[in-house]
Chains A and B, each alone.
Chain A
């Protein structure tokens, strides 16, 4: 039964990824990419990694995808945005991701109804992860924080001259 859920979720993930790399419009591809990441989150839950599943949905499908949406919207400004909005609202665009999302939602309902024992892998709860994270992996946590700091400085440096240039043009 739970292997059946695993097969369905894998099919959703692979199909969404194939659709993502074949879309011509970046926003359409983004919709399918979000579905692919949500399917991966369901897979993590089925494998017993609840903490990783929550992080996948919040950070990957939430924060990082919002970053992509911001950049795509920044690059698409102009007269054609109104026409694009009209084209994006056609059913042929959003019916595919919606069907995939409904499949994942039905899987979630099945898991809830079946009483929370739907996990097939060994459950590794967040307490074990936290103890290992701040025990033997403390140096890795520090390195990750350094990496995030470097990414922050890099993104700030890359974004700053462009901001100056546009401000100079307007003034």
Chain B
């Protein structure tokens, strides 16, 4: 079968993951940070799909489904937090929220 090599798929997944990580570390806008997190979650899902396709098992797609639910819950809570921060500080700058007494 003229298949896509496993290594190429995993390399693409790693590249997308690193791009998302760079986005999380470089950007300071909370919305952009959440979008970069989506890219990272999507890259891990791609890795699972590639592996599941390589061995012809359904487990890869099931792990992708679980990552999908995780992303949905994370986006809901994260955007709620972003709204709260915007209403309290009138900005979406992540560096402005450094007043937590932890």
Contact = CB atoms under 8 A, between A and B. Distances in A.
Interface residues of B, number: 61
A59 B68 contact: yes
B32 A52 contact: no
B100 interface: no
A67 B39 contact: no
Contacts of A1: 2
Contact of A67 (B3, B4, B65, B76): B76
Contact of B74 (A14, A37, A151): A151
B58 A29 contact: no
Nearest to A143: B66
B94 interface: no
B31 to A, nearest CB: 5
A75 interface: yes
B87 to A, nearest CB: 5
Interface in B21-76: 22-23, 26-27, 29, 31-32, 34-36, 38-39, 42, 45-46, 49-50, 52-62, 64-66, 68-76
Contacts of B45: 40, 52, 56
Interface string A10-47: 10011001101100001001100100110010011011
A66 B52 CA distance: 29
Interface stretch (A82-90, A108-116, A153-161): A153-161
B84 interface: yes
A74 B84 CA distance: 12
A6 B2 CA distance: 12
Interface of A: 1-3, 6, 10, 13-14, 17-18, 20-21, 26, 29-30, 33, 36-37, 40, 43-44, 46-49, 51-52, 55-56, 59-60, 63-64, 67-68, 71-72, 74-75, 120-122, 124, 128-129, 131-133, 137, 140, 144, 147-148, 150-152, 154-155, 157-159, 161-162, 165-166
Interface of B: 1-4, 8-9, 12, 15-16, 19-20, 22-23, 26-27, 29, 31-32, 34-36, 38-39, 42, 45-46, 49-50, 52-62, 64-66, 68-77, 79-84, 86-87, 92
Given A26-B29, A64-B75, A162-B84, 20 more contacts: A2-B4, A10-B8, A20-B36, A29-B35, A37-B38, A46-B4, A47-B53, A60-B38, A67-B76, A71-B83, A75-B83, A120-B4, A121-B4, A124-B57, A147-B69, A148-B69, A158-B83, A158-B84, A161-B84, A166-B87
